[in-house]
Amino acid sequence: MKALVYHGPGQRSWDTVTDPTIIDPTDIVVRIDSSTICGTDLHILKGDVPDCKPGTVLGHEAVGTVLETGASVSTLAVGDRVLVSCVSSCGRCRYCKESRYGQCLGGGGWIFGNLIDGLQAEYARVPFADNSVYKVPDGLNDEQVLFLSDILPTAYEVGVLNGMVSPGDVVAIVGAGPIGLAAVLTSMLYTPGKIVAIDLDDSRLESALRFGADIAINNGREDACARVMELTDGGADVAFEAVGVQQTFELATELIRPCGRVANIGVHGKPVTLHLETLWTRDVTVTTGLVDTYTIPRLMKLVASGRLDPTIFATHRFALGDTMSAYDTFSDAASTNALKVVLQGSERDPSSNGHIAASVMAGAV
């Protein structure tokens, strides 16, 4: 099959690799119908994720069709259309039993496109399948659910739920990339008083307003903290850090009110200072988190009922075979204005809404 392979920092190619097969009885093999690229894939290509070894197929987000099931898989059948979570769950360890799949001790966690071959490929082996994929309801197309693999549960769990967004809250979101924008969408589920988006890039801020933010602040031109103080009674109730650098983490801690909450979402590659010398009297709460994706079923229901529409993330579409160009477009977001690129598998029928090709029903790979 063909797949996007990481060959070390700065190097990727669309290669012919060995077809995946069932290795463990809890595995399934899926045909990838739709996949996408994440900012984390770009981090890998910069060499920021040393666990990911050269030769690994990248990608941790996909909608696929089950082609083969391992002997102990009991809830899935050949032909099922499934959303593959970016985080796998063994289902047996202490953390999986608490729905904290990101911390899985039994071989799960964030493994796709990192520790094992990922999902930017024609086919993929999916371990712990009963616990790690979600059947796509009939009537929902791939693009309606694809971004529930990663960015929506990340923003919702690590941002909105950890930050305990409540009706009426002023929510400040530092960083309006796909994660910050997903935080705009999922904060709106809680009827906040105001959503303030902060970014250096005007096109990202325009997207934030389009997604539902009330106020956009370009912190390259304005003092974001002073603006938030003007707009509020002593600061935001909740701030999300959705970039992953010192400056934005500091800003998030500065612009909340006493007793406010900072939910850190960004991945920090470098040490960051927590200014307890000014924060200790302010009764603030700071949370951290790696996504668990335990909210995928809830988010899927919201999509099915029309309360959540993730399709607005899809700015560009490419055939799966053109994944190399898709990376070029995604990694140059400053000029392409890309939010999420959709990689479309060749057998995917976008109008199918759950229709399964006859060859797949017959189990042919």
Q: Which residues are at the interface with ligand NAD (CB under 6 A)?
A: 39-40, 154, 158, 174-180, 198-201, 204, 219, 242-244, 247-248, 265-267, 289-291
Nearest to 261 by CA among 156, 155, 169: 169
User: Which lies closer to Zn ion via its Cβ, residue 28 or residue 96?
Assistant: 96
Interaction between residue 157 and Zn ion (CB under 5 A): no
Q: Which does 154 bind (CB under 5 to 8 A by kind): Zn ion, ligand NAD, none?
A: ligand NAD
Q: Which does 104 bind (CB under 5 to 8 A by kind): ligand NAD, Zn ion, none?
A: Zn ion
Q: Which does 197 bind (CB under 5 to 8 A by kind): Zn ion, ligand NAD, none?
A: none
Task: Mark the segment that binds Zn ion (CB under 5 A) among 90-98, 165-173, 229-237, 340-348.
Answer: 90-98
Q: Which does 256 bind (CB under 5 to 8 A by kind): ligand NAD, Zn ion, none?
A: none
Distance CA 236, CA 238 (A): 5
Q: Could you please report the per-residue DSSP string of 143-154?
A: HHHGGGTTHHHI
Kindly state the helix (H) or strand (E) to which residue 328 belongs, with its residue range.
helix 323-331
Interaction between residue 40 and Zn ion (CB under 5 A): yes
Order of all β-strands in the sheet with 194-199: 215-218, 194-199, 170-174, 236-241, 256-264, 285-287
User: Which lies closer to ligand NAD via its Cβ, residue 159 or residue 192?
Assistant: 159
Q: Which does 106 bind (CB under 5 to 8 A by kind): Zn ion, ligand NAD, none?
A: Zn ion
Six-digit token string for 86 = 């970016």
Q: Could you please report the per-residue DSSP string of 255-269?
A: SEEEEEEEEE-SPPS
Residue 84: strand pairing partners: 62, 133
Q: How far is the CB of 256 from ligand NAD (least distance, A)?
A: 16
Interactions with Zn ion, residue window 204-243 (CB under 5 A) = none
- HSE-CB for 202 with a 13 A CA cutoff: 3
Residues that bind Zn ion (CB under 5 A): 38, 40, 90, 93, 96, 104, 106, 108, 150
